[in-house]
Amino acid sequence: MLPGFLTLSGLDALYRSGAATPADVVRSVMKRIEESTDRAIWICLRPLDELVAEAEALALEGPSADKPLWGVPFAVKDNIDCAGLPTTAACPAFAYEPASDAFAVARLRRAGAILIGKTNLDQFATGLNGTRSPFGAPRSVFNADYVSGGSSSGSAVAVGAGHVAFALGTDTAGSGRIPAAFNNLVGIKPTKGLVSNSGLVPACRSLDCITVLAGHMGDGDRVRQIMQGFDARDVYARAMTPRALPQHGLRFGVLGAAEREFYGDAETAALYDAAIARLEALGGIRVEIDYAPFRESAALLYGGPWVAERFAAVEDFFARHAEAMDPTVRAIIAGAQAMSAVDAFKGAYDLEAYRRRADAEWRKVDVLLLPTAPTIYKVADMLADPVRLNSNLGRYTNFVNLLDCCAVAIPAGFRDDGLPAGVTLIAPAFADDALAALAERLHRAHSFGMGHDRAAPLPDVSVPPPQAKPLISVAVVGAHLTGMPLNHQLTDSAGVLLKTCKTAAHYRLFALPNAVPPKPGLVHAPGFAGEGLVVEIWGLTPAAFGEFVALIPAPMGIGKLVLEDGTSVSGFICEPYALEGAQDITSFGGWRAYLAAKSA
């Protein structure tokens, strides 16, 4: 009765047709779970009679606008509280009975979603591979010899195997993205604080994010939007202040040759290159970045004082029950005992230094496109070398929360042996809505099915682009041109380069004396018949335009410029008093040509 892979639209169609009720679906889901050969996916399931009773009560109420997830089965990683089920964090000795649902879980259940149970994880969310649990190691849905990815291992496999339509994971170092890649799913890691962490057993409390694993962006982002909301009980909660991404001419950062590391996995490297080509075909502009500051900040997560934050989360339990912990997890967390407050401050200083260097790379690009994981490992190999191989998996994920970014992992295809790979789009904080729309476009540019079903077509339901605000065009002529010292004032505000063109004939350009940085002054010269001067036209939202204009110092101002095609735009003009002693450089045709001639 159920399709092989569950989606929100597929379930909705099933209900609307009358072919099934929510009670029918939960019975089928529980039968599918019972028949699964991977017994390590679930830690705790709700009783069937309880699920059926909830589903029948939903059916009596009927679907409604305030229940957009009506009758949709979902799973929750077992470090997130769900009333009526124990929270174990994959450590039985740690288990407790929560009095209420976590904030995010409560929102989903109010929306009509049906909680099936709690899923397995790397113990205390410490790991990226899925083998660090006394409940067993969930396996990739494509080959049981290989890891599922972690720490949200059970959540990913539950979705990938078709047990539920979506699942909640968490992500501190990549735990919601790595398992998405290894099970042909999307993994959505919101900006820190947008989804409340109330009711979450923390790994690193200042970095943790509750994430969504789903088959495609339409489902995953819909769930993210429902979970999202300011929660005053979470001291790290933040309200959304949306950040736009360019609609045209999007610049995406890629790895340069010196930073490409796939640990010998040439096929995953080739799948990354293919994803780059797809984003270029969609109009993106590839820009090689220096990945070093991102990689160096990533190393702080386990190699720096942030491991002490993991210790802080379980300090009392560790003191009494350390012997009950997974040996690898115990060793990692125990390492914090040798750290001091001085080490914490030194780590914070290092992070800010890396952030400053990373900011220089961000000024070149709007988003990053990176491999989600450089390769995938067999379970046996991971168990034999648990720390080094786990570290390899996090090479392109560990920095994201430290540097306050949002991220979306999407499928990137399959190696010849049938194992999947993924890529991740990463943007600065609060670009979640725009990033979801971009990830949707890239995922649909080449579908690889959903989860275990490589032939499953992506549903027609997709992520709508963020509501576009009208852009104000502004002409720049000097230090704000692409590649010039002040261009970042445009790119930092998500400005979009619309075109390069010339002014009308009646303008002159002067090199202003003693300007820092060097800049020209454009002046209207009635009756002058030149050849026009090269300008760039950038688009800014009204709010960004106002902030940009406020940064402009005298003698510059914004007025109306006439372009060569006769249209008018706002643009830089110069007050006449500043031209005393200035060199007329009109004959060069533009600021860039003048600088090139000057340096020749």
pLDDT at 495 over 90: no
Residues 290 and 432 in one domain: yes
Residues 51 and 171 in one domain: yes
Provide the pLDDT confidence category of residue 70 given band limits of 50, 70 and 90. Answer: very high
Give me the number of domains the chain comprises.
Answer: 2
The mean predicted confidence, pLDDT, of the chain is 94
Provide the pLDDT confidence category of residue 221 given band limits of 50, 70 and 90. Answer: very high
CATH number for the domain that contains residue 572: 3.10.490.10
Q: Does any domain span residue 266?
A: no
| Catalytic site residue from 133, 148, 151, 391 | 151
Average pLDDT over residues 142-155: 98
- Residues 591 and 481 sit within 8 Å (Cβ to Cβ): yes
Residue 464's pLDDT is: 67
Average pLDDT over residues 396-408: 98
| Catalytic site residue from 148, 153, 175, 196 | 175
Residues 382 and 513 in one domain: no
Residues 392 and 479 in one domain: no
Provide the pLDDT confidence category of residue 519 given band limits of 50, 70 and 90. Answer: very high
Q: Does any domain span residue 359?
A: yes
Residue 475 to residues 208, 250, 350, 577: CA-CA distances in angstroms?
A: 42, 19, 39, 22
Residues 165 and 16 in one domain: yes
Q: Does any domain span residue 260?
A: no
Residue 465's pLDDT is: 66
CATH number for the domain that contains residue 74: 3.90.1300.10
pLDDT digits (tens, 9 = 90+) for 80-90: 999 999 999 99
Nearest of 62, 83, 81 to residue 71 by alpha carbon: 62
Q: Which of 402, 430, 445 is the last residue of a domain?
A: 445
What six digits make up the tokens of 571? 């643009």
Q: Which of 285-299, 453-467, 468-482 has the highest mean pLDDT?
A: 285-299
Q: How far apart are CA 482 and CA 491, in angstroms?
A: 9
Q: How far apart are CA 21 and CA 347, in angstroms?
A: 54
pTM for the model: 0.80
151 is catalytic: yes
Q: Which of 445, 461, 491 is the last residue of a domain?
A: 445
Residues 412 and 489 in one domain: no
Q: How far apart are CA 25 and CA 52, in angstroms?
A: 9
> How many CB atoms lie under 10 A from the CB of residue 554?
9
36 is catalytic: no
Angle at the Cα of 474 from the Cα atoms of 472 and 477, rounded to 5 degrees: 170
Q: Does any domain span residue 267?
A: no
What six digits make up the tokens of 271? 């799948």
Average pLDDT over residues 340-365: 95
Q: Which of 367-381, 473-487, 559-573, 586-600 has the highest mean pLDDT?
A: 367-381
| Catalytic site residue from 77, 118, 189, 519 | 77
Q: Which of 405, 429, 445 is the last residue of a domain?
A: 445
Nearest of 337, 307, 304, 309 to residue 322 by alpha carbon: 337
Q: Does any domain span residue 278?
A: yes
Q: Does any domain span residue 463?
A: no
Residues 421 and 546 in one domain: no
DSSP character string of 437-451: HHHHHHHHHS---BT
Residue 469's pLDDT is: 59
What domain range is 593 assigned to? 472-599
Residues 439 and 542 in one domain: no
Residues 33 and 128 in one domain: yes
Residues 103 and 176 in one domain: yes
Q: How far apart are CA 597 and CA 600, in angstroms?
A: 5
Residues 441 and 476 in one domain: no
Q: Does any domain span residue 458?
A: no
Q: Does any domain span residue 1?
A: no
Of 117-126, 305-314, 353-362, 439-448, the range with the lowest mean pLDDT is: 305-314
What six digits make up the tokens of 440? 């949707």
Query: How would you classify the pairing of strands 367-371 and 251-255?
Result: parallel
175 is catalytic: yes
Residues 187 and 104 in one domain: yes
pLDDT digits (tens, 9 = 90+) for 317-337: 999 999 999 999 999 999 888
For residue 127, give every residue at least 6 positions away whose Cβ sits within 8 Å of its Cβ, in sequence order, or none. 150, 151, 175, 328, 329, 390
